[in-house]
Amino acid sequence: MSFNINKLHILYETPIEYMPSMSRALGIQLYLKRDDLTPIGAGGNKLRKLEYLVQDALDKGSTMLITVGGGQTNHGRQTAAMAAKYGLKCAIIAIDDYPGELSANMLLDRLFGCELILKKSDGRPESVQLDELVESVIQVYEKKGEKVYFIPMGGSNVLGALGYYDCAVELDRQAKELGIGSARVIDTVGSCGTYAGLYCGLKDIKSDLRLTGIAIMPFGEKSFARLEKYINEVKYAFGMEFEVDPGEFDIETGYVRGGYNLESAEVRNAVKLMASKEGILLDPCYTGKAMAAIMDMVFEGKISQGEDVIFIHTGGMPGLYTPHHRVEFEKELIDGVHIL
């Protein structure tokens, strides 16, 4: 399926890899779709969205990308890398505290030449503060002569969702080739672009793959309603013909573990298990939280023993170096450091 929409072609398809040791440990057949291996700026899911969004920015003659997120946003880091590659200026805007050191994604953003604009919260709703700040920052850069292209949180708009529509088509073909064409696909749900794109793609091609999302921050009725609206917008924007059935949205909302990007022992255990069994790094904000949820879901019988599961590894590894996560890992791992 092609929508006659230009996109950059920076990534080849990513592999699906079988995880033998994790499969044995959990009693399921676990595969990873390695979207952490996308080729620019340390990889991750946002590059699929940015292939469309940065092409659109270039087509419109933009000179600068501006996006938003938490201070340690992975999406921001990948946007900064794409801006560097395509000769665009870049700024990331966040209502967030400076963590006291330039590390993790913030360090990488600066290596890519991106400006970071952080504003301490004044207690009003974050979206209100962010909208105000974005407007004033865009004005400042436009006065300096830049033509700004604004990318919303997570690159999650109708155009960005096409990146994961494409991934759904790729997944379906690869899964069939592996003989797991009716596996359960699990992805991490933040700003919903990944889930929405996958949902549209899998529905549109009538795939037998079953999609489950895992929310990493509180996801209530309003979030489900926003997701439905978003998916309908994507569907109508590109003339897709399937029925959107909100009853089919399968999003686990019970594994948030306190809130967005908070430290959690269960998440660290999942990160350590994957690292020590398979040599693969998850992150403490998104993919580690989702893997901790998968482990609980297996334990609770929501995922059956022997079930084929394809977990989309959406990247985020630099988050391991985020100060508040790194210090907790250090407490648990320092005993294996032998200073002679």
Ligand X SMILES: Cc1ncc(COP(=O)(O)O)c(C=O)c1O
Alpha helices in the chain (DSSP H): 20-26, 46-59, 74-85, 104-111, 126-143, 158-177, 193-204, 221-237, 265-278, 287-299, 323-333
Contact 226, 190 (CB under 8 A): no
Backbone angles phi, psi at 241, to 5 degrees: -115, 5
Contact 57, 88 (CB under 8 A): yes
Q: Which of residues 154, 201, 284, 318 is near ligand X by CB under 6 A? A: 154
Q: Which of residues 190, 201, 288, 318 is near ligand X by CB under 6 A? A: 190
Q: Which of residues 29, 38, 287, 322 is near ligand X by CB under 6 A? A: 287
Contact 28, 72 (CB under 8 A): no
Q: Which of residues 112, 238, 286, 321 is near ligand X by CB under 6 A? A: 286
Tell me the C-alpha distance between 140 and 6, whole Å. Answer: 30
Mask for 25-64, x = binds ligand X (CB under 6 A) = -------------------xx-------------------
The smaller minimum CB distance to ligand X, of residues 114 and 146, is found at 114
Residue 212 engages ligand X in binding (rule: CB under 6 A): no
The smaller minimum CB distance to ligand X, of residues 62 and 194, is found at 194
Tell me the C-alpha distance between 219 and 156, whole Å. Answer: 16
Closest distance of CB 142 from ligand X, Å: 27
Residue 75 engages ligand X in binding (rule: CB under 6 A): yes
Residue 261 engages ligand X in binding (rule: CB under 6 A): no
Residue 185 engages ligand X in binding (rule: CB under 6 A): no
Stretch of residues binding ligand X (CB under 6 A), selected from 130-138, 185-193, 201-209, 321-329: 185-193
Tell me the C-alpha distance between 272 and 288, whole Å. Answer: 9
Residue 67 engages ligand X in binding (rule: CB under 6 A): no
Tell me the C-alpha distance between 229 and 63, whole Å. Answer: 31
Q: Which of residues 16, 130, 169, 189 is near ligand X by CB under 6 A? A: 189
Stretch of residues binding ligand X (CB under 6 A), selected from 109-117, 176-184, 312-320, 323-331: 312-320
Contact 79, 50 (CB under 8 A): yes
Binding positions for ligand X, rule: CB under 6 A: 44-45, 74-75, 154, 156, 188-195, 283, 286-287, 314-316
